[in-house]
Amino acid sequence: MSTLKEILYQELELKISTNDEGISFDPLIFRDLDLGGRYQEEVLCLFEMAYETHAGIKFPSSFRSPHGLIFNLRWDRRSSYSLIHDKGSYYLAHHGEVLFAVEFVERPDYYRLKTSDGTPMSTIAPYVQEGSVLISYSNECALKEKGQDCKFCNINATKDTYGEIEGIGWKTPKQVGETVAAAYREFSEGARRVNLTGGFVAERREVEYYLDVADSIKEHTGLEDFNGLAAIGAPLDLSVIEKYKEAGYRTIASNIEIWDKNIFKAICPGKEQQCGGWDHWLKVLDHEVKVFGHGRVRSNLVAGIEPKDSTLEGIEYLASRGVIALATVWNPNPGSALEGHRAPEPAWYFDLFKKIFAIHRKYGFTYEELYDCSGATGIISDLYRIEDETLPVFKSLVA
C-alpha cells in the first residue's frame, strides 16, 4: 500500500506540473479520436484555461493517469510535457520520453440530450467528473463595463472568442433544472452535486436568479436537498445569505481570490469597489458560516500572484473560522490582464498544496465536506483520497 501511495504522489506531482506548465501537442492530434462520441469534449464555459486560444478546434476535456487521477488538458505548445499519438494510442511524455498511456474520460450519456427548447445539455451543465456538474449561468462579467475586471480573469475574453462557436449564453432556470435532472438520473448510484456560478451581476438579479434555479432543480429532480453550491459575490446586504439556504442550497462560496489586502485592491479592483472591500468579504464569509455551518462555506485563492506565506496565512485564518479555503494553480490566461506572466514552478505549488491539506486536517474538515464545496478532482481532494485510501485503485488492490 505504501508503494501505491508513492506512485500516486508521483502522479499527483505530474498533475500539478501539467496544470502549471501545460501540455504541448498538435491541435489536430485528436482528429481520429471519437471526440463527442465515446470521449468527452471540452465545453468552454467561464474560462479558457489553455495558454492560447483554439476557436473551432475541439480538445478532450481531461484524461486519467494509470492509477485514476484526473488530469486537466491545458494546451501550451512551449511545454516540455507533450501528448504523443502513435498507432491509435495516446501517451503523456516529458522531453519526448513516454511517461504513461493516456485514457481520455468518457462522455456522459446526458450530453446526447437536449432541453425542451432544443438546447444541447452539454452546453448547459458540463460534467466535471465524479457526479459533479458545473452550471455557468452567464459567461460574462459586468465588471468589464466599469474597467474593474480581476487582473487574472479572462471570462469576458472567453465569451468574445468562443461565444458563438460554443453557444455560450445565459442559461434559463428551466434549462438548468432539466439538465441537472438528466445528469442526476445518470449518476444515481453515487455522489452528486451541482455548482452554480458565473460572472459578476447586480446583487438583486443574482439572488432572484439563484432562487429560481433552485426551484427549477427541485421541481425537475424531485429533491429538496439537491446538493447545490451557490458561488456568489460578497453581498452588501448580509440578510440575503439566508435566502440561499432557504432556497435549498447545501453550500455557498464567496471567492476572495487574494489574501494580502493591498494586493487584493490592485488585482481585484471590482471586488474591492463593488462588494464592500476586503474587510467586507471576511464579514460575508463569517456570516455564511453562521448560516450554512462549519465546512459548508468555500473561498478560493488564486495561488502564485502573492507570496506563499500570504496565501497560507489566508487559508489558516479562513479554516479557523470554518471556511474550506482552497487554492488553485494560476494560469496567466489568454485575454486576461496578466497574460504572458509566469506562474511559480510546480514544486512551489506541490509544497503549498501539502500545507493546505495539513491545515484542512487540523481544523477537522472531512472529505465529504470538501466534495460538497469543491468536487472530487482538485489537488486537495486527491490528497484526501490518497491518504484515506479511497480512490478506486485501492479497492481493486484489496480485491
Separation of alpha carbons 379 and 81, rounded Å: 19
Q: Is the pLDDT at 204 greater than 90, yes or no?
A: no
Q: Is the pLDDT of residue 332 over 60?
A: yes
**Mean pLDDT, residues 32-50 taken together:** 92
Per the prediction, the chain carries an average pLDDT of 94
As a whole number of angstroms, the distance between CA 284 and CA 305 comes to 23
Q: What average pLDDT does the segment 369-377 reach?
A: 96
Sheet of 132-136: strand order equals 132-136, 193-197, 228-231, 251-253, 297-303, 323-329
**In terms of pTM, does the model score above 0.75?**
yes
CA 56 to chain centre: 23
pLDDT of residue 2: 75
Contact criterion met (CB below 8 Å) for 269 and 148: yes
Task: State how beta strands 228-231 and 251-253 pair.
Answer: parallel
Amino acid at 53: T
| Helices (H) then strands (E): counts for the chain | 14, 12
Q: What is the pLDDT of residues 154-198, one digit of tens each?
A: 988 988 888 777 777 789 999 999 999 999 999 988 899 999 998
**Which pLDDT value is given to residue 346?**
97
**Residue position matching grid coordinates 504541448:** 24
Kindly list the distances between the CA atom of residue 282 and the CA atoms of 233, 238, 299, 310, 317, in Å, as whole numbers in the listed order: 12, 12, 10, 15, 10
- Residue range 345-357: average pLDDT? 98
Helix, strand, coil content of the chain in percent (nearest 5): 45, 15, 40
Residue 201 pLDDT level (bands cut at 50, 70, 90): confident
DSSP 186-239: HTTTS--EEEEE-S---HHHHHHHHHHHHHHHHHHH--S---EEEE----SSTT
| Residues 335, 176: Cα–Cα separation, whole Å | 28
> Which domains are present in the chain?
22-104 (no CATH), 109-398 (3.20.20.70)
- Tell me the Ramachandran region of residue 341: left when phi exceeds 0, alpha when psi lies from -120 to 50, beta otherwise: beta
8-state DSSP, 372: H
Nine cell digits for residue 383: 490528497
Question: How big is the chain, counted in residues?
Answer: 399
Give me 55's grid cell: 476557436
User: Looking at this protein, which amino acid is placed at residue 8?
Assistant: L
Q: Give the residue-averaged pLDDT of 20-39.
A: 95
What does DSSP assign to residue 136?
E
Spatial separation of the C-alpha atoms in residues 272 and 219, rounded to whole Å: 37
Q: Is the pLDDT of residue 302 over 90?
A: yes
For 261-301, write each residue's pLDDT tens digit. Answer: 999 999 999 999 988 999 999 999 999 999 999 999 999 99
Sheet hosting strand 62-64, strand order edge to edge? 70-72, 62-64, 103-104
- Distance, C-alpha 140 to centroid of its chain: 16
Contacts of 84 (CB under 8 A, 6+ apart): 90, 91, 92, 93, 98
Amino acid type, 167: G
What's the pLDDT score for residue 246?
Answer: 97
